[in-house]
Amino acid sequence: MNTRKDATEKIKKFLSSDCNVLLLTGTFQHEKHPLVFKTLFENISKPCKILFRGNHASNLKVFLSPIFKLNTEPKTGTPINVLGGHKLWVDTINPKSWDATPTELDVVIVYPVDSLNEKNGPGCVQDLINRNSKKIILVSWTDNKDFNWIDQFSPVKAIFDAEEERPEYHQDMIKVINRIEN
C-alpha cells in the first residue's frame, strides 16, 4: 500500500540521500504537501531556506494557511519565519515571480506539479537546480497529468494514497483519474 507511513519513510530517506528530486503522487490530494512539510520539519534540525513554488499567487495562502496559520497573503521576496527557525519564501511557476527568490535554497516544494508540463516544467525545475537547491520536491494534486517529462531529472518517486485512511475518497479519486484519462 501507499500509506502515509510509506510516503513519510520515502521522503525521510530522500532527505538524507544524495538524490536531488522527488516526485510525490497519489490520491490523497490535499494531504500530500502538508505531509512533506511535516516530514521536513521533523527531520531537518538546522534552520534552512525553504521555497514553496505554487501554481498561482492567489493560491499561496490557501495552500499554506492550513499548515502555518497565515493571517496575510505571503509575498514573493519576503521570508516567513516558520517552525524550527526555518525561513520560507514563496513564488509561483510563473518565471516573472522568480526575481525575488533566493539563489541558494535548501528545500523546494512545487505544488501542484500538475500545472507544469513538458513545455514549461523543465525550465521551472532547471531554475531550481540553478539556484543550487539541495532538495526539490514535486507534489501532484490529482495525478491526471503526464509526469513523464520529470523523468529527465531522475526523481525518486513516492506515492501517498488515501486508500488506508479514507477508502471511499480513494475510490472516488481513482474514478476521477480514470475518467479524465479516457
Task: Determine the pLDDT at residue 179.
Answer: 73
Asked if 124 contacts 112 with a C-beta cutoff of 8 angstroms, the reply is no
CA 181 – CA 166 distance, rounded (Å): 23
pLDDT, tens digit (0-9, with 9 covering 90-100), for 24-67: 999 999 999 999 999 999 999 889 999 999 999 999 999 999 89
CA 60 – CA 64 distance, rounded (Å): 6
CA 59 – CA 87 distance, rounded (Å): 19
Residue 159's DSSP bridge partners are 25
Task: Determine the pLDDT at residue 144.
Answer: 78
pLDDT, tens digit (0-9, with 9 covering 90-100), for 111-152: 999 999 999 999 999 999 999 999 999 999 988 788 999 999
